[in-house]
Amino acid sequence: LWAIHHSAEVWTDPSKFIPERFLCKEFHFQGTDDFEFMPFSAGRRICLRLPLATRMLHALLGSLLHHFEWTLPQDAMENGQDMSEKLGLTMSMATPLQAI
């Protein structure tokens, strides 16, 4: 593993710490033979907690939404919220919602 990460055939100046070298590479974490990216894990040995982290992210977002007090702006309370949509590449609201 050390030899792969310090190979001059794979990396330019492998003995220096250059984290930007990972930015320009196209990499898919599953089903790959790009062993130079092994510090990030790959294949069957990818991070075991990745599914847990994904579920926890949804729980965290739900908890944040639950614990804030959500109200409409004053003009929306008087006139009602405009729920009309506009068509584009995706469907979005004609009048965007505002966080206050």
Summarize the annotated binding site for heme as residue ranges: 47
- Hunting for tokens 């984290």 — which residue is that? 19
Contacts for 98 with CB less than 8 Å, ≥ 6 apart? 73
Q: Which residues are annotated as a binding site?
A: 47
- Hunting for tokens 């492998």 — which residue is that? 14
Compute the distance between CA of residue 100 and CA of residue 93 in angstroms, rounded to an integer.
Answer: 18
Phi, psi of 5 (to 5 degrees): -75, -15
CB 7 within 8 A of CB 14: yes
